[in-house]
Every structure is written in structure tokens, then in C-alpha cells.
Amino acid sequence: MPESPREAIPQELQELGLFDHPDVQKNFVRPIGEHEREATLILEGITCAACVWLNEQHIARQRGVTAVDINYATRRARVRWDERLIKLSQILEAIAAIGYRAHPYDAAKSELLAQKERRAALWRLFVAGFGMMQVMMYAVPVYLAEEGTMTADIEQLMRWASLVLTLPVVLYSAAPFFSHALRDLKLRRVGMDIPVALGVGSAFAASVWATLTASGEVYFDSVAMFVFFLLGGRFLEMVARQKAARGVEELARVLPAFASRYSEYPDGELERVAVSELASGNVVLVSPGQIIPGDGSVIEGTSSADESLLTGESRPVEKRLGDMVIGGSMNIGSPLTLRIDRVGESTRLASIQRLMERAAVEKPKVVEMADRIAARFVGVLLILALATGAWWWWHDPSQALWVFVAVLVVSCPCALSLATPAVLTVATGVLSRNGILVTRGHAIETLARASHFVFDKTGTLTEGRPALMGMLAPGMLTPHQALSLAAEMEAGSEHPIGRALCEAAGKLPENRSDGVSAIHAITGQGIEAEWQDKNLRLGSPAFVGALHGLALPGGCLDWQAGGDMVIALGNSDGWLAVFRLSDRPRAGAAEAMATLREHGLQLFALSGDAPETVARVATDLGIESAMGGMTPEGKLGVIQRLQAGGATVAMVGDGVNDAPVLAQAHVSVAMGAGTDLARSQGDVVLLSNDLGHLAVGVAISRRTLRIIRQNLGWAFAYNVIAIPLAMTGWVTPWLAGIGMSASSLLVVLNALRLQRRCA
């Protein structure tokens, strides 16, 4: 079985130039424009927010790099570059030059790197813990011995034994602190490992000097204890962070490795093939309990599918002959024979993954602010530590070293850097499991702050599947001819009304009208064309009536008053046909609107449909304000007026004719079935099309914002309290290590609390 290009890449690739080969790039590099390319990478060696800042700054300075974003929680980087100015291999070389390694992102590689990181951290923690216990065995007798009861030679022997046992702790367990600090100094950067390296190094050096000169105090036990507690805290924080990131990457591991494909359908034999070998048009058999390997349709069998991972819909979805299936969902009923339509990067699952990756590396303003504060804080910390050490050296030299070390360690701003990205990573995973796909970094924060929700009607508040309920043909055409003519004008339309007319015409006997030409869609109004040397229009009664100025036929006004949609067909001679269509509100929409109102949100409904139709739907759903007959420009004006009044606006639409309005809103929510996910304008995509999940998403986003505030408040409060205590000598170095580790761990665990409460 041949390997895919990504699987064929050696684990320890020596020639970075191979990454420039098109066959290697096709699975992880995407074209953005004519010459711009984008890749998602995993970075090895990231230990703190300073590492993220350093890589972003260094990569951004490379000629030809147009954008770079790195997510601290997931270690993933999104890099864009102009291939005319720089190659991918040169970007990877630039990353390697500052002491990091980059790999093309895939879920398997990410998990391998996570396992490697955990193993290395466990070994370093084990050595530090073992060394700490052994050193304490020699330190405790010295502490407990009464003055004069332990001879100088025995005490010196204890010191040498402690030195030997502390060496592995400093040289192996604490080695990353020193190597990262050295790298930062070479690059003229003040990273978060510099204070730790200074603290450990100065304490160990002072103890070694005291041992060599047989004078002064030694603190090998405190050094070993400090390293152990610091590594212990970082290990727990790493495990919690990886758990949070694993929820975001869950989708990347959902597809099976193999599938059962028919060599010829229906008479051919079944063969086991790699999913990567499937192509459009292949026919596969999916047994109960197996994962569907690609997007397709049912050609034999009846079953149900679990699509919860992709849409958040917990109930199984029935699948019958002709129904569409989504790659990554699970067949849970009976065997299904499927014709595969899309595989690999063209599937809905791949689109969801790309949008999630984009959101994972985009930084909201609150994260950027915290990173800037943390980067500057380290420099301020070093000045404070030096000033404090100097003051103590002048007043009490015996305490100067330890106060200096404690100040360096206790206030390392790791918790501040973790406070926001950890929560956003967890929240993104929780939202995806509830059928809400976050595609932009700012979306969660803005959704939580939204004060006004504006809804499109057709395809959003309603099911978007209007059906033809009746028609009148007062002109020269028969009803069948008029409907066929309307269907010709709507041929290929993505609009729900156009699809309804085409579907209705398909049920009629063949009686097509010829001669329709120069078809031109007028957004928000209808369609214009040439037919029998006359201008022909299909759309709203006002749009069509402008050709001849005649009143609607009797009975049509009653349709409008009853809340049905009225679509007219006519030319300069008058009305050719009037169609009555009806569209049902989405199931659960009324309950979702009630929940949103309970959250204190103001609700609006905007639509190009007749005002009476929009008003009826809004009344049924409990929406306070409704406006019909709106053009896209009119909708845009409403959004702008709300924003001018200080409102934070969330726009919810199906993506059809809504792109300008979605782009104008502070945060936009696109219905997952509206348009192709890859072209979605939404900052958030409602994969399940269940508006009840939108209400859940608002609750989760608000809870996320509360936890971010809690984390930031804790991080600032910790530093405000801990630094003065350390400066006054109330905090020992090993206690400082515990405090710093505990503060980082606390913010991650607080973020995971969101996962537990919302699961």
C-alpha cells in the first residue's frame, strides 16, 4: 500500500528543501492568492509565552512572510508567505536558527510530539524528585544537629554528598531553563526562563563556592526542591494544556484509516483500501459502528448516523436512499452502501478543520494585550530583583541571595500568559461539541459581549425550504407554462425560493418555455430577463409591478396578510403569474429566542420578503422588531445605525445574499447548511442549524469571558501579593517555585472547569 506524501516524510528530516516539493506540500499548504501560500505547522520547543512572541517576531521579519500567528496552548502556527520572495524551507530554517523545530501539522504528528514532551518532562521530574529526596537525607541531619555535635569534617562530607546528588538535578532536570535562557540572551530577548535560570544558577553557584571553601551556607536541598516543584507544576500544566488542546484536535483524528470499496458496483468484490486512496465516484460499504470515510450519498440501505461530533446534534439522523452523508459521522443502524462524492480536502470535515485551525491561531485583542504585558513584565522583574538584592546585600548580606532568587522566581508571568489562551482553547472545543464552529479568534469574546442579535428570515429563522402552496395565472400563460418559465429563470439558483420553484416545476409534465435570455439577478429584488422581445421579471410584487403599475390580482393580498410569501412573474403587459409559497419556522426557534431574551439580548428580524410575512414569523417566535422588504443595502444600514448607537451587533444569516451584512456586524453567525463552509463569511458557523445551540453558545461564551476575567484577576492579584512578600524576605525560593507553578496550574484548571461544566 503506497504511503501518502505526508506519511512518506521521514520523522527526522534532514533536508528541509524537500518541503518545497509540490507533492509534499499539497496536503498541508493551501494557496491563498496567485502567489501567496499558507501552511499550518507544529512548533517544538515552545515552553512559555515569550517563546511564542520570539517566534512570531522572528518569522515576521523574514522577507516574504506576510502573516504569522502561533497558538500557545496548541503549539500550532499559521504562516503565510509570498512564494516569489521566500520558500517554505527557508522559513523552517529561520525557525531552526533560533532553536526551535517546525513540522507540517497533522493530528498523528501532534500527538507524537505531545507524547515525546510528556516523556521528557516525566524523566526530568523523576530525576529532580529522586535527587531532592536524597539531598534532604543529608541536609536534615545538619539542620537538626545541635551546635558542636557534628564535626566539621562530617558536615563537609554531607556538603560534598549533597553537591554530587544535586548535579544531575541542575545539569539534567534544570537544563531546559539554562538552554532557553541562553538562547534568549543570544537573541537579545528577555524570556521567562531567564529569571528561573538566574535563580537556580546563582543559588547553586553560591552553594558550590561554599562547599569548595568550607565556609558559608549551602542550599543544595532548596535548589533541588525548587527545581522539583517548578517542574512538577509545569508538568501538570502541560498535561492540562494538552487535554484542552486535544478537544480542538479531536476532529482531525475522526476519519478511519481504511474503507471497504467495491471494485465494481454492484457485481464487484469488496476490497480493503486506505481512505487516502478513495476517489469521487467510488462505492463503499459502511457497516454499523464504522465511520463514514467521505461525503457522499446513500445508494442502498436504510440506517441512521451519529453526526454529533460534526454538528452537535445528539440524536441519530435517519439516512435513506438518496440522502447525503457526512464523512466523519458514524453509521449506527444497518449497513449502508454509499457513493463517495468528496474526499480529502474537499469534504465538509476538512472545511471544518481548516476553519478551526484558523480560529486556533488567530489572537483576540485580550490575548495580544496579555502577551505584551508579560513580555515587558519580565524586564521590570529583573530590575526589581537586582534592586532588591542590592538592598539586602547592603543591610543583610546573608539573606541577599535568597531574596534575590525568590523575587526572580515568584513573579514569573506564566500565569498571565496562560490565562486567556487556555480558556479560549477549551471553549473552542466545547463549542464545537455543541455544533458551534468558531472560525475567528475574536468571535467568542465578541459573542459574549453582543447586545443585539439580528436574524435573517429565510433559511435562518425558517427552515429555508419553502414549498409552492398555490398560484394564479391571470395572463396569457397556463399555470404549467408560467411555472416552467419561472423555473427557467431560476435555474441554478442557490436561493431557497428559486429552488422551491424549480422543484415544483420538475413535478409538472414537460411544457418548457423557450426564448428566455439575458437573465440577470438583482440582489434583494428578483430576476430580470428578456422573453419574446419584452422585459420579464420574477420577484417581489413591487419589483415586478414597477413594469406595468397594475394592482395584484384578487386574493393575493390575502396571501400576504396571512403571512405567506408572494412571488410574482410579469412583463410590461401585466401579471403573468403569482406564486404562493410558505416556509415553516425552524423547530425549536421559539424556545431559542426566549432563551436569548432571558440573556437580556434585543432581537431583530430583517428580510427581503414582504413585511407581512416577516411580521408573522417574528410574532410567532417572539422577536420584538421585524422589518420586511429590505434590500441588502437596507439591512446594512440597519446594522450601521445600531452600531452607531453603541450596540454590539451579532448578525445571524444563511450566507445567501448576506455577505455584506455578515461582514459589517461585530460578530457574524452563518448557518452551516447555508453555503459552502470554506467560503463562509461567518465568524461563527452553526453546524447543526439548530438555533437552540446558538443560545447555548451565547451562554458558553459569557461563561468563557467570566473565566478569562477570573484568570486575569488571579494572575494580577498573585503578582501584586507575591512580589512584595518576596522582596521583604517572607517567601523562600522553594516556596516561590511552588507559588509560580501553582499559579500557572490554577489558571489552566480553571479553564478546564469550563469543559466539565459544559460537556
Q: What is the 3-state secondary structure (H, E, C) of 438-469?
A: ECCCCHHHHHHHCCEEEEEHHHHHECCCCEEE
- Per DSSP, the residues of 120-160 read HHHHHHHHHHHHHHHHHHHHHHHHHSPTTSS-HHHHHHHHH
DSSP conformational letter for 679:
G
Rama region for 223: left / alpha / beta (φ>0; ψ in -120 to 50; rest):
alpha
> Cα(301)–Cα(322) distance, rounded to whole angstroms?
10
- Could you identify the residue written with the cell 512564494? 83
The beta-strand segments (E) located in 333-383 are 336-342
DSSP conformational letter for 291:
B
Decide: 321 and 348 in contact? Cβ < 8 Å: no
Q: Is 187 exposed, middle or buried (0-12, 13-18, 19+ CB in 10 A)?
A: middle
| Rounded to 5°, angle at Cα 527 from 526 and 530 | 150
> Cα(76)–Cα(109) distance, rounded to whole angstroms?
12
Secondary structure class of 549 (helix, strand, coil): coil
The beta-strand segments (E) located in 244-328 are 258-262, 270-274, 283-286, 295-300, 303-306, 317-319, 324-325
Q: Which of the following is catalytic: 184, 456, 583, 683? A: 456
**Grid coordinates in use for 709?**
476575567
Position 446, amino acid: T
Position 476, amino acid: M
Q: How far is CA 206 from CA 140, 214, 385, 400, 619, in A?
A: 19, 12, 17, 12, 78
Q: Is 412 exposed, middle or buried (0-12, 13-18, 19+ CB in 10 A)?
A: buried
> Cα(172)–Cα(178) distance, rounded to whole angstroms?
10
What strand order describes the sheet that includes 330-331?
Answer: 317-319, 303-306, 330-331
Q: How far is CA 147 from CA 136, 141, 152, 155, 222, in A?
A: 19, 12, 11, 12, 22
Query: Is residue 23 flagged as an active site residue?
Result: no
- Spacing of C-alpha 281 from chain mean position: 32
Position 655, amino acid: G
Decide: 456 and 653 in contact? Cβ < 8 Å: yes
Secondary structure class of 530 (helix, strand, coil): strand
**Grid coordinates in use for 122?**
516525566
Q: Rounded to a whole number, what is the distance in angstroms from the first to the last CA of the chain?
A: 39
The helix (run of H) or strand (run of E) holding residue 666 is: none
> Cα(42)–Cα(623) distance, rounded to whole angstroms?
46
Q: How far is CA 259 from CA 275, 294, 330, 424, in A?
A: 6, 10, 13, 35
Per the DSSP assignment, residues forming a β-bridge with 634 are none
> Cα(182)–Cα(190) distance, rounded to whole angstroms?
10
The interaxial angle of helices 365-395 and 414-433, nearest 10 deg, is 150
> Cα(472)–Cα(578) distance, rounded to whole angstroms?
5
What strand order describes the sheet that includes 467-472?
Answer: 467-472, 574-582, 565-571, 534-539, 526-531, 517-522
Active-site amino acid positions? 456
